[in-house]
Every structure is written in structure tokens, then in C-alpha cells.
A and B are shown apart, each in its own frame.
Chain A
Amino acid sequence: MYERNGEKYFVVDGHIHFWDASPANWIKGQEQYAEGWINCFHAYMGLAPAETHWPIEKFQKYSEDQFVKDVFEDGGTDVGIFQSTYLKSWYVNGFNTAEENAKIAAKHPGKLIVNGRWDPREGEAGLNQLEEDAKRYHMQGVKLYTAEWYNGSRGWRLDDEVCKPFFEKCKELGVKNLHVHKGPTIWPLDKDAFDPKDIDVAATDNPELNFIVEHVGLPRIEDFCFIAVQEPNVYAGLAVAIGGLMHARPRFFAKVMGELLFWLGEDKLLYGSDYAIWEPKWQIEGLLDWNYPDDSEFSDYPAVSDATRRKILGLNAAELYGIEVPKDLQLPDEAGAPAAREAAVGVESS
């Protein structure tokens, strides 16, 4: 619970990490990628307020105490969702695996949800592993990282035929929340690797599953919005949109939020800090204070209310993950009704 000026907010952080990217964990011969990866993340931290920047050594590997302080004590997070990111081609023990995440989760019962992963290129063995992981970690969700390298392949897509058995397995196991990272991959090299169109196919074919597109499809937010407006089971994870823009480019942040509220509506947006790229506290504070600049350029975006902020900060994710929200932190019944979607009706991709 995040408390400010006597007001209490239920916070579900949809995107947190506890990683080890220290040199001791770099795979021999792959150091340039392992180092490049964490340096790239660190550059993103530079988009936050200066007083929250960390030196690279701390950023490569931070302590459990630090995690507890930043996420729970200062961030007031009620429930955090670990998005496991393996990157085992570059990091000896992985970047932040479900196994490592589960160790911390066990120490904070009810406060941390461990999401796993799957990779369709692993075939039968991957399906078995998914089943094992799902049972061990009581998984409700996975993070899918289509850019990951594997046996000479440098990426995959959700509309690949090999994904189908994995979707079926997810339904069978109750792993219903699929967080998809659309990120840099160099395969297929000649296409636009950020293109989220594969999500369109997967979401249409699998209405029982929820597809949470992390980082709101940046840098292809327009393609993402065109898809999301048509698919009731597509959601937007705001990690990076908040951390990367709210402080560094506030007018752009307002435009991104305005477009997302217009195309997707306030029931489809999930807060995520992407800790430890950015600390949660300034992001939550910023969201609570946020509104559009007073400027005609923003005048026709959907209005932002207290209910909008509460939904984004925690209530939407609580719904997806079946997290119980204390009565006094829920919305009054009338405000909790699904947001009006008429604003987006009749507008579709050209």
C-alpha cells in the first residue's frame, strides 16, 4: 500500500527484476554481450531523476536488502510480479531466473509473484520444463522474450507454428498471463524486429489467454495500439513508458498516456516500474500527480481521474492475477465498472 496525504493506494508492480549482471556471472567469450546488455539498461536509468541514479557496480548486482527497501519500504508495493529474464547465452546462472526469483519470493509470502518463461524452440523438453515450473512456482504467468538467442537462432515470433503447443499447455496449466517483450532482435535481420503483429494472431487464436505487451510496444506503439484496440485480451505494460519518459520527456509521456487511454482505455493499462532499471517511488509519485499539460494539443484525450490512476497502479493487475484487494482500497462500485470504450469505436488501423 502506498500512502500519501492520508490517501491509500493499492500497488501492484507488474514488472520487477532481481538480477545478477556482475562480471562473475558473464559467460566466457560472451562478455561483450553480457556487459553491453547491462550497460544498455544502465543508460535507461539515466532517464530518471538524477538523485535516483546508481553507479554501474551497484546496478550490476544489488542486495536483497536494497530490493526490499526500494520495492516494499519506499515503493509501498503490495504485490510485485517478477518477470524472469534468463539470457543464459550470456549469463552463467541466467540474468534473473524464476529459480532465483522464487528464493526471494519465499521470504515474502503473498508479496511476490514469480512468472516463468518458455521458448518454443526448446520443443518437447521446453513443454515439460514449463509444466514442472508452473507447478513448482504456482505460475499464473510467463515472460516471453522473443529476442533471446538460442542454438544459433536469434529470435522467434508468437505466430510461429511451434508456439501452438505452448499456448495449449499454458491453458491446461492455468498460466493465463503472457507478458511479451517486443525487443531488439536481429532475426529475421531484414524485417522490423519490433513489429508486434505476431501478437495479433496469437491473441485472436487464444482468447483464453491474456497478452500483456510490455513497454507498450515501444518503439512500435502505433502498431501495438492498432492491434490492442481490436483484441479484448491484449493489455499494455507501462514499464519503460513511465520510467523512460515521465521525467525525461514529460510531454511525450503525456501523449503516450493520452493515446493509450484513447485506444485501449484505462482498464487495459498496468503499472510496472521495471525495477531495478528505475526505482518505484518516483514513478508512483509521478503517476499520482500526473495529468496532461494544460495545452490545446492534449485537449481531446480521455480525462484522467482518481479511479484511472488506481486502476493503472494496481487494480487492473490485481484482476488479472486474482489478487485480493482490501475493501477500503477498492473502487466504489460505480467507478469500478469497465471504462467506456466508445471513444475508440469506429477508429481502426488504415
Chain B
Amino acid sequence: MTTQERVLEALEGVIDPELDQPITSLRFVSSLEIEGDGDVEVVMRLPTPQCAPNFAFLMAADAQEAVRRLPGVHRVSVKLEDHYTGQEINTALQRGEGFAGAFPAETDDDLGALRELFQRKALVARESRLCEALLADGATAEEVTGRRVRDLPDVPDTRRCLELREALGIACAPDAPAFVLPSGEPVEAGELKRWLRTARLVRMSLEVNGGICRSLLQFRHGLEIEDPEEVLR
């Protein structure tokens, strides 16, 4: 695998925390250059110059960290282009400072709580799709809420759910409940319908936001629409 391929693969693992989708499939990576003995420059673009600086920072910092870890990478620079706080964010990244370093006196937070809040939303959104598929196959509420992690199909939603659960400290052992509330508590059969109704709303929100972001980015950069399916992947 070339350094270029490794870097691309690493960037595919960087997730927009608000949309729960890879920054590469969202087309937020606008260029990637590798020079000499492993100097990597990644340039990122967002749908609008006004996109929230906190999420923007998380994505840029995650990208930098993901690439930095790779063998064969000597130096890495991630730059956010055409954003109203791009300068502050780029400078902080260059100096290896956190979010508080980018905006001194405006925050002392490392955005951990914000990231966690959206991980919980993403978990609920993805679980709801797995759950709907089971119900569509004829499973009852009791059967669905009795399922364990090991019973879940090996599909992208399951894999992402388990990643999120691990990040949130929610049990992901094979015998752990398959469907959990945002708090990590198992979903009870009696509340399944209600839980599913709210979970579906959360999923719709994530998908719609992703759709708007894609549309704005496409329009702004004259890109072809490549994702007519439009759903959370």
C-alpha cells in the first residue's frame, strides 16, 4: 500500500460528528498532497463558510491525528479552507493546540461533551434502522428487545453501532442487549414503539442535515450529485 493509499484510508475513518458520516464520502477533503519523505498536506472544505467552528475543529483535528499515526508519514498539515474561523483553527492545529488554543478566552472545553452528545444521537439513529428491519421481517417487540449484540447482522450499521457503543462506554459484548437507549440502558418491549418513533425522528434529522450539507457543497463547488440514495450510510 502506498503512503497515498494509507492516508486516504485513514481519512475514510474520520467521521463528521454531527452527521455521522465519513468526511471523504461527504467530500469535505478537497485535496491531498504528499511530498518528499512523507510530508502530507490535507485541505478540507465545508458546505458553507459559516459551518459551526466546533464541529469543523473536531473534523480537522481528527484528520490530523489519523494521518499522523501512519507509518511513512513524516509531517502532516491539515488546513481548513474558506471558513470564517479557518485562520484560528489552522493556526491551532499547526501548533498542536486544542480547541481552546484556537479560541483563547472563548472556551476552555475540548469538545468532549459535544462529541459525546452527537455519538448518542448517531447510535440511536443507526439502531433504529436495524430494529425496523427486524420488525419488517416479522419479529415481535419482545423478540426484538430480547436480541443480543451477537444476533445483529454483519452490516455497516451494526459495525458503526458497536464503534459508537465502545466510544461511549456502553457494553458491546456478544451477550449485551442489541438495542439500547442513548443512556445505554436496554430498550424494554413495552417502550419499543415509543423509542422507535423518537429514534426515527433523530435518524431523519441526521439524514436531512447530511442532505442539505451535500446539496450546498455540490452547488458551491459545482460537483456532480453522486449520492442519490441520500441516506445515512
Residue ranges of A at the interface with B (Cβ–Cβ < 8 Å): 32-33, 36-37, 39-40, 43-44, 46-47, 154, 184, 186-194, 218-222, 225-226, 244-245, 248-249, 251-252, 255-256, 259, 263, 346-350
Contacts and interface: CB of A to CB of B under 8 A. Distances in A.
B186 to A, nearest CB: 13
Nearest to B185: A350
Given A33-B84, A189-B107, A47 B215 contact: yes
A43 B216 contact: yes
B212 A346 contact: no
Interface string B99-120: 1000100111101011001100
B94 interface: no
A206 to B, nearest CB: 26
A350 B195 CA distance: 7
A310 to B, nearest CB: 25
Given A190-B54, A219-B18, A222-B205, A44 B216 contact: yes
Contacts of A221: 201, 204-205, 208
A347 B200 CA distance: 12
B107 A188 contact: yes
B201 A225 contact: yes
A347 B201 CA distance: 12
B49 interface: yes
Nearest to B198: A350
A191 B212 contact: no
Given A189-B103, A190-B114, A192-B117, A255 B50 contact: no
Interface residues of B, number: 43
B215 A36 contact: no
Contact of A219 (B53, B107, B113, B209): B209
A186 B212 contact: no
B31 interface: no
B8 interface: no
Given A40-B49, A186-B85, A190-B109, A245 B201 contact: no
Given A186-B85, A350-B194, 18 more contacts: A32-B84, A47-B216, A47-B219, A186-B54, A188-B107, A189-B103, A191-B54, A218-B208, A218-B209, A218-B212, A222-B204, A245-B208, A249-B208, A249-B211, A251-B230, A255-B204, A256-B208, A347-B194
Interface in B167-214: 181-182, 194-195, 197-198, 201-202, 204-205, 207-209, 211-212
A244 B213 CA distance: 11
Given A43-B220, A46-B216, A189-B54, A220 B182 contact: no
B139 interface: no
A245 B204 CA distance: 13
A159 to B, nearest CB: 18
A190 B50 contact: no
Nearest to B191: A350
B52 interface: yes
Contacts of A263: 201
